[in-house]
A and B are shown apart, each in its own frame.
Chain A
Amino acid sequence: MKDIRVALVGNPNAGKSTIFNSLTGAKQKIANYPGVTVDIKQGTIKHKDINIVIYDLPGIYSLFSQSEEEIIARDFIVTEKIDVILNVIDVSNIDRNLNLTLQLMDLNIPIVAILNMSDIAESNGYSIDYTKLSSMLAVPVVKAVGSKGVGSQNIVTEIERLANGEWINNYPRIDYGQDIEAEIENLCKQLVIPDEISSKYSKRYVIIKLLEDDESIHEKIYVGKNIDYIRRSKEKILSLTGDDSAVLVSYARHGYITGIVRESVDKRVIDRINVSDKLDKVLANRVIGLPIFFGLMYLLFQMVFTVGGPIMEWIETGFGILSEAVHNNWNTETLPLLRSLLIDGVIGGVGGVIVFLPNIILLFFAIALLEGTGYMARVAFIMDKIMNKFGLQGKSIIPMLVGFGCTVPAIMATRTLDSKRDRLITMMVAPLVSCGARLPIYALIIPAFFAEDVQAAMLFLIYIVGIVLAIIFSKILGSTVFKGEARTFIMEMPPYRMPTFKGLLIHTWDRSYMYLRKAGTMILAVSIIIWAMMTFPALPASEVEMYEAERTAVISSDILEDEKESQILGIDNKELEAGLVYSVAGRIGKAIEPPLSLLGFDWKIGVALIGAFAAKEVFVAQLGIVYSIGEATEESQTLREKLRYNYSSLVALCIMLFALISTPCVATMVVTAKESGSWKYAAMQLVGLTLLAYIISLIVYQVGTFLGY
């Protein structure tokens, strides 16, 4: 079977995804392309004796190396030896789309131009002379309507024809005007171009890119005598024409396009964005735009939690039954360690991840809907001023809001941000937005320490502290660690569109599956490690025998059955506690007691915090164990009493602050590492946030103590 590698390239919003979905159907996966944080999807079509592998590249406006996407797209086409480029063109913006087409021609690879949404264009009064367009561009032109699957067959036929036949580069050569052409000729003779570049690009292409000030090519060629040659040529062009060569090159290209469009496209009516315009009069309105946005967000979260809540409960019950079944049917005598590993490590760990799946699927569906309809761009538009004040951009608001549900999808939602810098900052501060898993901690502690009339205010305060810290730290990170990168915000506002249901499902599934696979495997591993830390070393046999003896004594005594049961339970809990103290986790808890004591914490809190690293809500269960009351929930009154007896309300506040700010959970770290492409950022997040939590709790505790609380 012959493999043909095809890249799908086009402007953002030109409808690339719909074409990709209609070509490949559900047979697609995220291409494994190292170091790339932008999705490149891959799909395969089998046609006769060939295997067509299609890569869906990020949407770009030009091949210039300005944004991450553009660098990725260009490098991908060149280094992955693409055989055919499918260039998706939005007819209603044909000028701008052809600008990219002309740049693609410089790569010396066969192109198939796909005129997408040609039905809308034609019904809006465009009449296109496809034959003429095709002959002027020297590129086959295919009409298509991605959302309806129209044109797929023709596209495949064209790919096959180009891949099988002898292709000759007949692309039109743009005349950049005599002054520039003369300099191109000069530079052709003068420049020394390293092999790594000349093997990939033609000399003319390289020179045009140099005259356009393309930075990626600059680096490798801007050495030695070349610098002088290039500078002299640019200066000569400037003195002859009074304009910078970069400007002239782009004007020449635009002029050429205007010519093509004039010859082949007849635009009579222009009102495609009429409906969009009307919608924007409401949704992006100066007065009601913001309230509508917050209202929609509120509805979205309502939807996620009301629909997702019950399903989460079913899953939780399911895992409970499973764990119970293993518990009851597996005799404690046979392989007790494996039993405990299965129940506490595997079922507990995997259950903890899968329980969030319904909410995560729903959140991703909602995000796909926001993106698919084009509303996401409006969100960025109306929120940009506020977010810009914090050193971010408008779209960052979405991951932040998602973070109230769960930090993991929040970090995955940063994919909608187009600047890498903004993505990283958002990822770093997203854990500060208090997620749902932290609520049980507050729910346990607040009623235990605070009077009923201030309870709501306390909860609100904790959330506000998180938000304020997130804001402060995005500002700080933006001007320190992630300083320097130019921040431009120029964004197209695509017309509103009805996304296809299939497209929505594909998007949702892709992201949810990644959550399951990547986070799931890692969380399972770390859950097992934490389980091991809390299990080993096991209590010495002598102590186990001691508890056993106590139990036998209770059973053989002649007190009431009820009394017996509660006494045995007490002994069981004491044994659990002793076991935990004896384990690695307990020892670490003891070891970190001195620094923690400055915050008013004892080793028991330390152990619980170690557990919270697996998942924040484990904190509550851990406290239950160390306080010998068995597995506790946030509703546990006994635990509350014990806490009240052992800690002051100042310490309680510090515990909540620490839990809010410190170490994101394992899942967050794993996702941060995957999404940022480096464990460095995950480590930075871990160390930075834990340190911050320590410092803030320290200040609050010490100042509080000093003031006499």
Chain B
Amino acid sequence: MEDQLLTQSLEDYLETIYMIIKDKNVVKPKDISLRLNVSQASVTGALRSLAVKKLILYSPYEPIELTSTGLKKAREILRRHELLRTFFTKVLLVDHQIADETACKMEHVIPKVILERLAQYIEYIENCEKKTFEWIEKSGYKCIDKKGCEECSMDVDNLVVKDSELGENAVSLLDIPVGKSCRVIELSLDGSTQKRLVDMGVIKNAIVSVERYAPLGDPIEIKINNSCIALRIKDASKIFVELV
């Protein structure tokens, strides 16, 4: 996975592309240069490197698309950012703007294990029903409930980090060989496309099988319940599934 290592700036680009897609559905190089406040030329350079690493689909005059790996990566970066910011604002009670700026710098370097611990900590604080935590000078947060933890209703052992992220086995629908079945884990298409698919029964946990590709490789035909649906590769790449 050595070649997948991204520089800090490329990570920023990827994150920005993801955010713009969420906002507007379509990304043009100009949007990126406006958001990051950099020149169009550097955007083009960065897009090329991202395309080489197969994180985005980029060709001139076409809207930029995230590949499934790109999407995963972008979400991971964004999640790190959000976790850190939450920690700074909710736990450390730091001003929002400073929190955001610091998160932006730290998100690129923080190792996964520390991140997960932080996440658990935040969850713990947030989920404590009695809100009996208080910031105590020099010793950090303490539970001030006199009864102690015995009667605390929190199930610390099974505390699950609230994480809608994809599981380890998640792949895009396009990675499923023809004739094989898979379970839908997540759809991350734009609003109306996603609604249409949901109406047609493509929902979380539905079992879908890949029937065939069109003669020219696009679209793809899938079978769900008892009906066959054709959809474009572009949309299918945003359906995450696991083999069953």
Interface residues of A (CB under 8 A from B): 61-62, 64, 66, 92-93, 95-96, 99, 213, 242, 246-247, 250-251, 254, 270, 272-273, 276-277, 280, 284-287, 289-290, 377, 380-382, 384-386, 388, 486, 488-495
Contact = CB atoms under 8 A, between A and B. Distances in A.
Contacts of B225: 93, 95-96
Given A491-B229, A492-B228, 10 more contacts: A66-B192, A96-B200, A96-B225, A254-B201, A286-B213, A377-B230, A486-B25, A490-B197, A491-B231, A492-B229
Nearest to B203: A254
Given A384-B219, A385-B219, A250 B214 contact: no
A276 B226 CA distance: 12
B232 A388 contact: yes
B212 A290 contact: no
Interface in B152-193: 162, 164, 190-193
Interface of B: 25, 162, 164, 190-193, 195-201, 203-204, 211-219, 221, 223, 225-232, 235
A66 B228 contact: no
A493 B200 contact: no
B200 A286 contact: no
Contact of A250 (B203, B212, B218): B203
Contacts of B164: 242
Contact of B198 (A250, A289, A384, A489): A250
Given A213-B191, A382-B214, A62 B199 contact: yes
Contacts of A270: 226
Contacts, number: 118
Contact of A284 (B196, B214, B218, B232): B214
A292 to B, nearest CB: 10
A491 B212 contact: no
Contact of B218 (A96, A242, A384): A384
B221 to A, nearest CB: 6
Contacts of B226: 92-93, 270, 272-273
A95 B201 contact: yes
B199 A64 contact: yes
Given A96-B200, A270-B226, A493-B229, A286 B218 contact: no
Contacts of B192: 66, 486, 488
Contacts of B221: 284, 381, 493
A242 B162 CA distance: 8
Contacts of A64: 195, 199
B230 A381 contact: yes
A382 B215 contact: yes
A290 B225 CA distance: 28
Contacts of A290: 215-216
Nearest to B228: A493
A490 B162 CA distance: 32
A251 to B, nearest CB: 7
Contacts of A62: 195, 199
Contacts of B230: 377, 380-381, 384, 489-493
A490 B235 CA distance: 9
Given A286-B213, A380-B230, A384-B218, A486 B190 contact: yes
Nearest to B197: A490
B162 to A, nearest CB: 6
Contacts of B162: 242
Contacts of A491: 229-231
Contacts of A96: 199-201, 225, 227
Contacts of B212: 280, 284, 286
A385 B218 contact: yes
